[in-house]
Amino acid sequence: MSAADRGNAYLEQVVAQQAVLEDDLRARRNAAAPGAAMPPASPAVRRPSPLAKRDRALGGAAPEKLTPGPVDVRITGFWRWKNVLVPPNAFVVHTRRGRAKPLHIGLGESFRFNPATDSFLVVPGATQTILINAYCICRELQGVLVQGYVQWITQDFGIAYRKLDFSDPDDPMRLVNLQLREQAEAAIKDKVATMGVRDVLSDKQPIIEELTARLRAVAEGEGDSDQGLGLRIVTVQIKEAVVSSSRLWENLQKPYRAEQGQIARLAELQAEEAIAQREMATERLKETQRLGYERELAELRARNEAWQFDTEAAERLRRTEREHDDARAMSELETETTRHTLRMERERHAEEAETGRLRIEREQELKRLELDGTLGLAHSQAQFDHHRALLEVERARLRAEIENQQTPTSLQAMLIGSLPEIMAKLPKPDELRTVSINGGDRTTVAGLLAEIATVVGALRSAVDTDRPGS
């Protein structure tokens, strides 16, 4: 169900409370005497007014006390010699035929009354309360119910009875209250129409000031003029201002509710954090205590085990000593043998310990020597590689210098020296051909070169002859 379907529960509650208050303020004019049963109310039965009391009093001479109406007026006497007794809290005006001005006018004045020529009007003088329910439209065109009340009192009855209508026999103030209520509602509606929803809900003082000014201008008049109604405004108050739309009412409340929800949630988170920290501290304390207890138990177990071990060791030692004593008593020779054996065993252990120590020292010395030898060998190898590289460089330099300093004679000698290698790499001939070289002088380089050229030409011609297709 949506918020519009549910309606504005707060508005309905305010209206109901206003109705109950109006019913409580309404005078109980048909109340029975004390101790008597309340008669059922009948809409056809009307309570007598002061005028009705006067008319009914014309026919009797005995003192009469009528059923209380708006004002409890008593009329005594008979025929033309009547007395009207007015309560001290009621205004009365007494007029007589042929007189322009009232004979009696004021608060609580009793007088003689001649029904043939006189007439009187009695009005309550107590403070009157008007309840106001103004259904207004604010500046945002939203419906707002403004509830308030106005209290007024009659200040000058001489002006009030001439300008106001007190002729209602049941409630003389009904028409006056109705007129003032309408004026008050109109003033509230005019003021609310210029205000926003939040201004109406948060600050009601402008409405009170506007309503007070308007009602006083009507009831009391402007300044010292006699344009007023003879009334005085006692107080003006605004009780409630409620938004008619339930959805708008909820939307206006949401920011504050959200803020309060946020504060509540933060408080819950802080509480949860504090609880979590307390729980962690408690768990830490429990764990610390548990570890302390376990440590104490471990220490107790260790001391117990140590005590048991010491006890068993002492018992074994006692038994060993007893056995040794028994054995020593049985045979001294066996005791000497045992001592010798123990001595030899100790010496053997000492020798083994010394041997182990010497072996460890020798191994450490061998490792150190091996390490020194390895380092020396690596250093020697590095120096050897360095000297060999220097020799290779020097040899290449010398070879280059030698090659640069060679003469044609040395070149010829080198060529002649390499001829066997050249001949060995040549392919073996299938046939032998002889080339005679007789024309050159072999003692000179030119003759030698000529012979070599002759041999090379003969070889080339032989190769060309052996090719297929030639």
Per residue in 4-37, pLDDT tens?
445 566 567 667 766 766 666 564 444 333 333 3
Amino acid at 215: L
Most confident residue range from 54-58, 276-280, 441-445: 276-280
CA-CA-CA-CA dihedral for 366, 367, 370, 374, to nearest 10: -170
Write down the pLDDT at residue 291.
92
Task: Give the whole-angstrom CA distance, residue 436 versus residue 446.
Answer: 17
- For 267, other C-beta atoms within 10 Å of its C-beta total 10
Task: Give the whole-angstrom CA distance, residue 212 versus residue 205.
Answer: 10
Write down the pLDDT at residue 437.
57
Residue 402 included in any domain: no
Domain that residue 89 falls in: 47-125
Q: How confident is the model at residue 40 (pLDDT cuts 50, 70, 90)?
A: very low
Residue 317 included in any domain: no
pLDDT tens per residue across span 264-310? 888 999 999 999 999 999 999 999 999 999 999 999 999 999 999 99
pTM of the predicted model, to two decimals? 0.44
Task: Give the whole-angstrom CA distance, residue 250 versus residue 153.
Answer: 40
Q: In which region does residue 4 sit, left (phi positive, over 0), alpha (psi from -120 to 50) or beta (all else)?
A: alpha
Least confident range of 53-67, 240-254, 285-299, 427-441: 53-67
Task: Give the whole-angstrom CA distance, residue 121 versus residue 161.
Answer: 9
Task: Give the whole-angstrom CA distance, residue 219 versus residue 228.
Answer: 5
Write down the pLDDT at residue 298.
92
Least confident range of 29-33, 233-237, 244-248, 410-414: 29-33
pLDDT tens per residue across span 190-228? 888 888 888 888 888 888 888 888 888 888 877 655 678
Average pLDDT over every residue of 243-259 = 74
Residue 195 included in any domain: no
Residue 325 included in any domain: no
In Å, how far are 44, 198, 290, 301, 314 from 304, measured between CA atoms?
Answer: 110, 83, 21, 5, 15
Write down the pLDDT at residue 37.
34
Residue 152 included in any domain: no
Residue 78 included in any domain: yes
Q: Which residue has the higher pLDDT, 65 or 445?
A: 445
Position 42 pLDDT exceeds 60: no
Q: Which residue has the higher pLDDT, 430 or 214?
A: 214
Number of domains in the chain: 1
Tokens of 147: 């509830």
Write down the pLDDT at residue 239.
85
Residue 185 included in any domain: no
Q: What is the mean pLDDT of the chain?
A: 77
CA-CA-CA-CA dihedral for 46, 49, 52, 58, to nearest 10: 130
Write down the pLDDT at residue 54.
46
Position 41 pLDDT exceeds 60: no
Position 318 pLDDT exceeds 70: yes
Residue 62 included in any domain: yes
Amino acid at 314: A
